[in-house]
Chains A and B, each alone.
Chain A
């Protein structure tokens, strides 16, 4: 099945640093989503983006829906140890409301 190109695959940073990850696709999406999966848990929705160019924040997290509708990025500012986990992007395609296309995830480790 189709998948999104998510990068980087993994990151190891110091507490307090900012983090940036992104997803790209060859297809146009009408919704971009960012999820976080804590160790031993299922993914949890962090941010949903519905419009090209949209910039949305959730606490220290900021995500943007690319103008071309083919990409999105997620920034985490001033990282803390509890930010550890796997971050997934997902897109919902135009005209296919039931299906999400998933990235492979960015694994984040934070050194206190």
Chain B
């Protein structure tokens, strides 16, 4: 089954404790991205990757890091989480950047930073 998986689905952590949210897709997609969703602010792109070893900032990259060492994986790293990073996070992938509109979204990771 074609899918984007994220782990964990739910996470409660404390300020400053490094965490990683994993994202994996099984569709051999080149383009992957991370979004955060907040009430009243909609979906905002954090980082995106057009292919292996190619990443770039989205609209709200501050406080986040990403890496793309393999085509299928695109982890989101919070080196020192803060309460304002409490949010619902989505990973998404599409066959290539020009087809970003055809992206598949993962099920989401709900993060609470205390």
Contacts and interface: CB of A to CB of B under 8 A. Distances in A.
Interface in A71-112: 88, 90, 92, 97-100, 102-105
Interface in B72-114: 90, 92, 97-98, 100-103, 105-108
Given A41-B107, A42-B106, A31 B59 contact: no
Contacts, number: 55
- Kindly state the interface size class of chain A when it binds its partner: 20 to 34
Contact of A31 (B31, B48, B60, B101): B101
B99 to A, nearest CB: 9
Interface string A1-25: 1010000000000000000000000
Interface of A: 1, 3, 31, 33, 40-45, 48, 88, 90, 92, 97-100, 102-105
